[in-house]
A and B are shown apart, each in its own frame.
Chain A
């Protein structure tokens, strides 16, 4: 069964460093998302991406964040200068259909746990 994959599973970085979290969405999916979950808290939407551009972003997704689809398979989240409060689990998700689709099930990857020291 196709699945969303994410690498690395755990990333430890120093405050102020840049990190790139990588995701490979399901191959025929067109809509991509990043969510984050601070430890013990709810999952929060960061950004959605379709047709090579951001379609929606939350207030969390400030200028320190960027997303890119560098090739036909990868979808990346870059945090330019990490802060302590960026420590969280970051989930990538993808869906086949957008608003026009029925249930628009979003398939989540296993997550990348980012620890900023």
Chain B
């Protein structure tokens, strides 16, 4: 069965520092996709970044990068130069090759300190 694990329920980081949010996953499929979503206090889900299982390079989108380590089944999100507006809940998610649904981890609440 597919599973997403986020072991950090909450994190506090000083503004302008880089932060790594951990995510490990479990699937028996060879083809899958990994996502990170941001959920601010207003509640909406904002897509941040995607990594395909066959992508050889780590995905990057602006200040976001995904540290994909396939053998370890980890897909950590790295936010460089954190900003106060980065304070939010962050969800790691996965879609496997068999269906379209996305399964989510429990999330990490990130607090950026001024």
Contact = CB atoms under 8 A, between A and B. Distances in A.
A117 interface: no
Nearest to A48: B100
Contacts of A56: 99-101
Interface stretch (B14-22, B41-49, B68-76): B41-49
A91 interface: yes
Interface string A61-105: 000000000000000000000000000010101010011001111
Given A102-B52, A103-B50, A104-B33, A45 B103 contact: yes
B50 A45 contact: no
Interface residues of B, number: 25
Please report whether the interface of chain A is mostly helix, strand, loop or mixed according to DSSP: strand
A102 B103 CA distance: 17
Contacts of B98: 99
Contacts of B104: 42-44
Given A99-B99, A113-B43, 12 more contacts: A33-B102, A42-B91, A45-B101, A55-B100, A56-B100, A91-B45, A93-B45, A103-B33, A104-B33, A108-B37, A108-B47, A111-B43
Interface of B: 33, 35, 37, 42-47, 50, 52, 91, 93, 95, 97-107
21 contacts: A31-B100, A33-B102, A35-B102, A42-B105, A42-B106, A42-B107, A43-B104, A45-B102, A45-B103, A48-B99, A55-B99, A56-B101, A91-B45, A99-B97, A102-B52, A103-B33, A104-B100, A105-B35, A105-B50, A106-B47, A108-B47
